[in-house]
Amino acid sequence: MSGLDVPSQLCREANQHLTHEEFSLASAFFMAAFSCNAPVALQRVKSLDDGQYQEIINTLEKWCLGDAEIPKIKCDGMAVVSLNPGIAAVFLSTLCPNNLASSLFKMGVFLKSGRYEEVVSRCNSLLNAHPQHSSKLLLTRGLAWILSQTHSRNGVVDYVQVFTKYKDEAKQHICTKQREYLPQVIRAFHDYISSYENNNTEGNIKVMLHDCYSFLAALAPDDLQICKTQAAHLFEECKFEECIAVYSRAIEALSLETKIKEEKISCLLVDRAAAYYSLGCRTKEMVQDLAEAFRISQIHARKRFTEIFSKADVARVMERSKACIEMEFGDYREAVRAHTELRSDIGTDLLLPIMQALEFFIQCCPDSRREMSIRLADCKLLAGDFRTCLGICNQLLNSERKTYQNTLYVLRGFCHFHINEHQQALKDFQKIVEDESPHPSSCVKALCGRGLVRMISGSPYLTALDYITACKLKLDETFLTTKTYVPWNQRGLLFKVLQEEGEKMLQKKPSSESGNPSRKKTREKDGASPKECDVSGVHQLATLLMMLDPTDDVCRILCTDALYQMDRIEEAHKMLSLALNSSSQRSPVLARLALLQLKKGFIYDGNQLIKKVIQLGDTSCLLPIMDIFIEEDRRLMQSHCHAKGMSILQSRQGEAYLKEAVAYLSFAIIASGGHAKDSLLARGRCYGQLGQKKTAIFDYNAVLRAEPANTEALCAKGFMQMSMNQQKI
């Protein structure tokens, strides 16, 4: 093919692609023909109908703007490799003089070659010809101004003008078409802002600066310097919420870096804390930021802290921090109080921010260092860091100042206990208990700690006494101490020990250590009778146990028994009535309710309750109750049940009624302590009629042990034995 035929062949190829609406390939062949012979290509393109012509123009514009790639083409098997956006721009400008796309491409070339004034001049003329495309032209002119470095302020104005009207379009154009110049653009905006840094800005300048900050934030939201500059401006404008958001974005971006720079992030945290402080209602966040900043880098955080906070502000920060620590610790105590599971810890995660805040406070407020160090030791103990707590306690106890000694002994005592140094723990607890004027809360904790040591040493009664004393001093403090300072794996055992000792006190069954005069001496010191001391203490103890485990029915019954013995009948009745629906100890609850109803004179109600116990078939529940009932009430229960049983025997016949009578008579016998002669004889006769002759003889023997010459019992026993012998024959 000759050189003259190539353009024609290329144009024919282009026409073929046009017939298939392959406008990109068609444009490429026309452009290749243009590069070989411009007049031929121009003639062919201009001869196209309007629709095809416009498609060619649109395609060339995309190539000039970089919105599409130029396809590779071949003619007679030979690749045409010389196609590029430069040729497309020339071809397009020849077809359409002053075409915006070709002009923008050419100006891009001028910018790269440093011909900035030509770009500005060209943009000015095009702005008149293409007002509808002013945004792209203004952004191009603005870039030329900035790159020229002599009129960069004009460039900033052009950028802001477009950004305020077409934010998304401007951002997309800059980040795609001008990406390589982005650092110069950002630097120009920084310089513009810096020129007004120390001046009082008002009116249009103030609005302009705000737009500049918005522009920078949109272009590089994660740029640390931009974030700091914008946040500082927002802070000066008292837009603290927006300021906090910017700082948060910067901190998040910085924390994602593989190598975190401690100085930068600690300073940013202090700056954000200042914004929280200025809001006045975000103290918790302020304290968290300051604590985290000092944890990351104490030196840099302290330096920045003293730079931006005045002495008066520092004093207010310390005051707010202290109040926040108290509030956070209160939340921790409430979380512990609300947690119903006794044998597990909760809320330790709440202690971490408290400890960080305390460490910050200790570093910034020397006057309160000792007090805050003790609070920190307390938190370390509660969080399970016993060695650190022990170290703090020893250091403070060995110092010259002697304040908060009781608190330190308590903390050290529990540390010793947790690391199995029980005797050392006992010594510390004993120092507080023996103090002439101990602090009440420390005394409560010391009593709980000493009781714990005594439990481990095998002295359950002394353990109970310590906890009773603690409950009388401060019940709620005893409850919280048990759920926090006592190891979680010891709480279950402690619970059972206190429960069993409380039952023994009410049932007047001394434990193995009762022979020791310690019981008597302890009671005599209180100036109360042994019974009064035990009952009142057991009520306090039962209340504590119910707080520790609200679902435990045995503790609820223990509490009602104590109320009963304290003659607080209505309270006991109310508690039993509430327990009746949910209690697993249904028979013991019914039996106690029956006695209280009989005691109040409600015979029918009492009898109905006894009948329910009989129907449940658990008459043995009366055995431990009889140790609780006073003599007068036992006699009342005995006489009522005996009378009811005899009434059934006299008025009813049949095996079912015999068994019912046996149940009532058994209640009477239990209530009498096993010595009700008439009830034993009557029950023996019932067993005889039921065919349970050996059981009947057992009842007659019980009568004969008390009265060996009792005629009725001897005769009845003889008759039973004779009947048994006849059956054998």
Question: Is the pLDDT confidence value at 421 over 50?
Answer: yes
Nearest-5° Cα angle at 153, 149 to 158: 110
d(CA 537, CA 462): 13
Domain boundaries, the chain: 1-97, 329-402, 404-507, 631-728
pLDDT tens-digit series, residues 52-79 = 889 988 998 888 888 888 888 877 656 6
The least confident of 55-64, 249-258, 537-546 is: 249-258
- Identify the architecture of domain 631-728 in CATH: Alpha Horseshoe (1.25)
**Could you tell me the CA-to-CA distances from 6 to 33, 44, 560 in Å, in that order?**
7, 14, 113
Q: What span, in angstroms and rounded, lies between the C-alpha atoms of 417 and 463?
A: 15
**Chain segment 461-502, per-residue pLDDT in tens:** 999 999 999 999 999 999 999 999 999 999 999 999 999 999
* 360-376 confidence digits (pLDDT tens): 888 888 888 899 999 99
* Length of the chain counted residue by residue: 729
Task: Read off the DSSP letter of residue 151.
Answer: S
Whether 666 has a pLDDT exceeding 80, the answer reads: yes
**pLDDT tens across 582-632, in order?**
667 788 889 889 989 988 889 998 889 888 888 887 777 778 888 888 889
pLDDT value of position 480: 95
d(CA 365, CA 196): 38
pLDDT of 35 > 80? The answer is yes
SS3 track for 652-679: CCCHHHHHHHHHHHHHHHHHCCCCCHHH
Q: Assign 529 a pLDDT band (cuts: 50, 70, 90).
A: very low
Question: Are 549 and 540 spatial neighbours (Cβ–Cβ below 8 Å)?
Answer: no
**CATH 3.40.50.2020 is the classification of domain 404-507:** no
Residue 514's pLDDT band (boundaries 50, 70, 90)?
Answer: very low
So what's the pLDDT on residue 393? 95
**pLDDT at 422 (0 to 100):** 95
Query: Same fold for the domain at 404-507 and the one at 631-728?
Result: yes
| pLDDT > 60? residue 511 | no
What would the mean pLDDT of 247-265 be, rounded to a whole number?
79
pLDDT tens for each residue of 423-443: 999 999 999 999 888 788 999
Distance CA(340)–CA(350), nearest Å, equals 17
pLDDT at 81: 54
pLDDT of residue 443: 95
* pLDDT tier for residue 258 given thresholds of 50, 70 and 90: low
Residue 720 pLDDT: 86
Decide which of 538 and 223 is more confident: 538
User: For the range 337-342, what are the long-range contacts, defined as Cβ-Cβ under 8 Å and sequence gap of 24 or more?
Assistant: 337/479, 337/480, 337/483, 339/483, 340/549, 340/550, 340/551, 342/483, 342/491, 342/492, 342/495, 342/548, 342/549
The band of 201, judged by pLDDT with boundaries at 50, 70 and 90, is low
115-151 pLDDT, tens digit each: 989 889 888 888 887 777 788 889 999 999 899 888 8
Per-residue pLDDT tens over the stretch 291-324: 999 988 889 999 999 999 998 999 999 999 899 9
Residues ≥6 apart with Cβ < 8 Å to 242: 234
Q: What is the pLDDT of residue 133?
A: 76
pLDDT in tens, 374-394: 999 999 999 999 999 999 999
Q: Per residue in 270-280, pLDDT tens?
A: 999 999 999 88
Q: Percentage of the chain surpassing pLDDT 70?
A: 93
Neighbours of 285 (CB within 10 A): 17
* pLDDT surpassing 60 at residue 642: yes
Q: Looking at residue 726, what is its pLDDT?
A: 65
Count Cβ neighbours within 10 Å for each residue of 657-669 and write b for 16 or more, e otherwise: ebebbbbbbbbbb
